Amino acid sequence: MKSDKKGKPAKNNGGWTKSWAKIFLVLGCILFVGVMIITSLGTNWLVTMKPAETGDTAVVDLTLKDELGRPVFTTNEGIYIQAVGKNQTVWLARPLTLTVNRTTINMFEPVPATLSGQDTQYFAFLGSEMNQITNNLVGMKDKSTKQIRFDESPQLQNVTYREDFESMGGNFSAVIDNQQMLFGLTIPSTSEDEINSTPKYGYRTAILKDKTNNTVTIDYGYKTADITILTLSRSN
């Protein structure tokens, strides 16, 4: 009698083996290309990946804004042009080179800047502002962006009487809330060699608010700083 069972086809193990061999070959090529790319980058890619630490040097794009969100100081030409187009008082400077987590004891830090295309003057950075900015650079990476909020300080608001305001050259009657005004500050000398030199003056864009019949408040504090690290260099 003939058997009813049909013979089973043999497994084609050779085809699977060839397929896996091709897969491993492709993966090997990808790995080789990746190693070549990393090698060509040298150690620069490590700077990009590693967060900023104390003592590192960061070149930053920086914009200071008042409590209404208006830029008052920027190193970004695009932001500057937009603000000028809105008749806002804004300073333009070059990107700042800062030491990460550096602390200054100075009350003011002068930064060369221009206002509406005029000759270069000094914008008066508060030391407290600079300290908060450099402290917040810790942990940021190359090309990363952060917004920080400054600590509020009542000392940055001066209630000024009408006669004092007008002696400063202001028109008290024309003052409206949230009007911008240039406010000059004396930048004291920081070394013995400069004690007998002519003191420098720095300027800030202040806000006039809370006007009464006889007084107006001059607020020269700012609300936020937008920071972008353009380049980051290691201290060691």
Residue 29 sits in the same domain as residue 92: no
Please tell me whether residues 26 and 88 are part of one structural domain: no
Establish if 6 belongs to a structural domain: no
pLDDT value at position 41? 52
Residues 64 and 36 in one domain: no
Number of domain units in the chain? 2
Domain that holds residue 219: 57-233
Q: What is the pLDDT of residue 236?
A: 74
Instruction: Compute mean pLDDT per 10 residues along the chain, 236 residues long, and list them.
Output: 51 57 61 55 57 95 96 96 94 96 91 87 93 96 95 89 92 94 78 55 92 95 96 88
- Per-residue confidence (pLDDT) for residue 36, from 0 to 100: 57
Determine the pLDDT at residue 104.
Answer: 92
| In a shared domain, residues 38 and 133 | no
Query: What would the DSSP string read from start to end of 13-26?
Result: HHHHHHHHHHHHHH
Amino acid code (one letter) for 6 = K
Per-residue pLDDT, 46: 52
In a domain, 228, yes or no: yes
Residues 31, 128 share a domain: no
Task: Give the separation between CA 115 and CA 90, rounded to whole angstroms.
Answer: 6
Do 174 and 221 belong together in one domain? yes
Report residue 56: phi and psi, to 5°.
-65, 160
**DSSP code at position 172:** G
Query: What is the separation, in whole angstroms, between the first and last Cα of the chain?
Result: 90
Could you tell me which residues come within 8 angstroms of residue 179 by beta carbon, excluding any fewer than 6 positions away?
A: 207, 208
Apex 133 CA angle, 194 and 60, nearest 5: 90
Q: Tell me, yes or no, whether 69 and 131 share the same domain.
A: yes
178 domain-assigned: yes
d(CA 57, CA 97): 7
Residue 199 and residue 149 share a domain: yes
- The enclosing domain of 147 has a CATH number of 3.10.50
Tell me whether residue 118 is in a domain. yes
Q: What is the pLDDT of residue 190?
A: 56
* Entry pTM: 0.76
- Give the type of residue at 174: A
What's the pLDDT at 152? 83
So what's the pLDDT on residue 153?
A: 83
Residues 110 and 25 in one domain: no
* One domain, residues 112 and 25: no
Tokens for 109, please give them: 């830090």
Residues 22 and 138 in one domain: no
Spatial CA neighbour of 122 closest among 13, 217, 204? 204
- Which pLDDT value is given to residue 169? 87
Q: Is 4 among the domain residues?
A: no
The dihedral built from the CA positions of residue 43, 44, 49 and 52, taken in this order, carries a sign that is positive
Q: Which two tokens stand for residue 138?
A: 């810790």
* pLDDT at 129 (0 to 100): 95
Position 52 in a domain: no
Radius of gyration of the chain (CA): 30
Residue 2: inside a domain:
no
SS3 of 117, please?
coil
Residue 99 placed within a domain? yes
- E strands of the chain, at which residues? 57-65, 71-74, 91-92, 96-99, 108-115, 121-126, 145-149, 157-161, 179-187, 200-209, 215-219, 224-233
pLDDT at 85: 94
Residue 26 sits in the same domain as residue 104:
no
Q: Tell me which DSSP letter residue 190 carries.
A: -
> At 41, is the secondary structure helix, strand, or coil?
helix
pLDDT at 14: 57
